[in-house]
Structure 1
Amino acid sequence: MVDVLVEYSVLNELNGSLKQIIVELQEAESRATTLEGDIGDPYGRNKLREAAEEFEDGWDDRRKALKEDLMKIQERVEGTGQGWANWDTEVSSKLAVESIEADTMPKAN
């Protein structure tokens, strides 16, 4: 079996990055709607706005599925980090030696 070392800082950074991506995906729909409105119908032509609408319609379902998948991954990353941190704290407190106990422990020769 191969040991794997993943530092808490790496899990925390990944968790934060995933959260940022999720927020970006949530806000993308409103930005697309704003863009379509900003494009408007210059000189009575609407082909560019229609192309933007068509792109947004096609990307919308994929973006929602991607966001849902990333939310699941983010929750697992956060849960893993919290689980290991809790375990680490619990185990280290059990292994801690009181100063009184240190005096009574056997010494190496």
Structure 2
Amino acid sequence: KKQLNKLIPVIKVEDISRVDHMERELLLVKVRAERETRAEALRMAEVFRAKVVDVSETSYTFELTGKPKKLDAFLRMLKPLGIIEATRTGPVGMRRGAQGFTVEE
């Protein structure tokens, strides 16, 4: 609840879908990692360049950022191992190049 009170109000939104832009998402996914599947889970994470952010005796939690299709592919690869929980931010974006986003006051 404290985190909700810290949210900053949205001042301006700009549709950048028709200009040259970058788009990324963040995924946190917790997957079963029993003794026989631990190495396979780590191998998949390495292929996708995911970070291990938490480890327990029976699970790994991975963090991955990238384009939505990359995150979808990672989730498909992990599914046979058993996804315990997954959350993702949804897309965030920024224009490419030197031009920035400005808000007139």
TM-score by length of 2: 0.21
**Highest CA radius of gyration, 1 or 2?**
1
- Structure with a larger share of its residues in strand: 2
TM-score by length of 1: 0.21
